[in-house]
Structure formats: C-alpha cells, structure tokens
Amino acid sequence: MTRGPRVARARLLAAGAGSLLALALLCAPAYAIDPAQMPTPQLEARYLTLTHEFRCPVCQNETLADSDEPVAGEIRAQIRKLLLAGKSDREVRDYMVSRYTEFILFKPEYSLRNAWLWLAPLVLLAIGILVASRIIRARSMLVDQDGEPVDDDLILEPEPPPASDAIGGSRADPIVDPRARPAVKSASAR
C-alpha cells in the first residue's frame, strides 16, 4: 500500500525536474550572443549597425550580431574597441576588409573587381533568351518548309468498341454485376 504514494511522488518529482531542465535549456541561448553594452546610445546604434553589416567568417550567411561563434565574438570585440577609440564607421569597415578581405562584408560594395558577380546573372539571362529565340525560330522555319502531306500511318483511328457476349456484357469487362444483367436460364433448368 505504501508503494502507491511513493511512486506518484517520484513521478511528480521527475516531471518537475524535466520541466525545469527544459526551461533552463530554452532560456540559455538568450545570453550567448553579446551581453556587452556601449557607453552611449549613439555608439550602441553604430555598433549594432556595423555588426549587422559584417559576415561571420565561420558561419554560413550569418551576421556577426546573429552568430554565437567564438570568432564572431572576437570580431565584435575588435569593432567595440575601434568604436571606443573614436574610429568612424568607414574606418572600421576599411580595417575589417583589410584584415578579413571583402568576404567579411555581408553586402559587398560594387567595384570593378567584383563587377562580374553583379553582371553575370544579367549576361546569362540574355544568352538564354537569345538561344531560346534562335531555337524557336529554326524549328518554326522547319515546319514552314516541310511540304510533305501528313502520313496516314501516324493518324490514330479510334478502336471499335469490344464485341458483346451472349448475356449483354462486354467480353473485355472482367467484373460482372449480376444485378445489371438479365438472368439467363441454363439448359438443364428448362
């Protein structure tokens, strides 16, 4: 008799511990990104803007502000130091590009070095339209030049309906519904 309340209490304790563990796991990532604060709201706004403009070198398509990688934390610390040293946004960008190349920029600037990245989709689209129009024009000219009559062999004639058997159904019909067909008396029943 004493096992019943002990088992119920153990289950209740296990459910409570599981709920606390789940709550702790859900709340933990909220403190992982960047707890540091800048001294003034203007510096904080510049810092947030810059961390959203730079790409994490380890993560795929994540900004520094969104990444929780240690490398991203180090780069955020560098940005923080540069802003506290009085550097402008342009100077911070130039420093980051000189150290990590243009890959660090989430939206790279247009230049002659990377112009092919911006123009390649337009060039490929134009080539595709040109090739498609030439193929369509060539095929339409082939149809216009073809003076031969249409072969009778290629025209499919509809098949005749299947012949009916003695009880009124189709021989090709494998399913026989006794209610739909008249009953036929056998020779022995006559």
Read off the tokens for 28: 């933990």
Q: How many structural domains does the chain have?
A: 2
User: Residue 82's pLDDT is what?
Assistant: 93
Asked if 95 and 126 sit in the same domain, the reply is no
Asked if 91 and 46 sit in the same domain, the reply is yes
Checking phi first, is residue 61 left (phi over 0); if not, alpha (psi -120 to 50) or beta? left
User: Residue 148's pLDDT is what?
Assistant: 67
User: Residue 2's pLDDT is what?
Assistant: 54
Element (H, E) at 97: helix 89-100
The answer to whether the beta carbons of residues 95 and 87 sit under 8 Å apart is yes
Asked if 58 and 125 sit in the same domain, the reply is no
Low-confidence ranges of the chain (pLDDT < 50): 1, 29-32
Asked if 83 and 128 sit in the same domain, the reply is no
With CA atoms as reference, report the closest residue to 96 among 115, 70, 77: 77
Read off the tokens for 98: 């000189």
User: Residue 31's pLDDT is what?
Assistant: 39
Q: What is the CATH number of the domain that holds 91?
A: 1.10.8.640
Domain extent at residue 71: 26-104
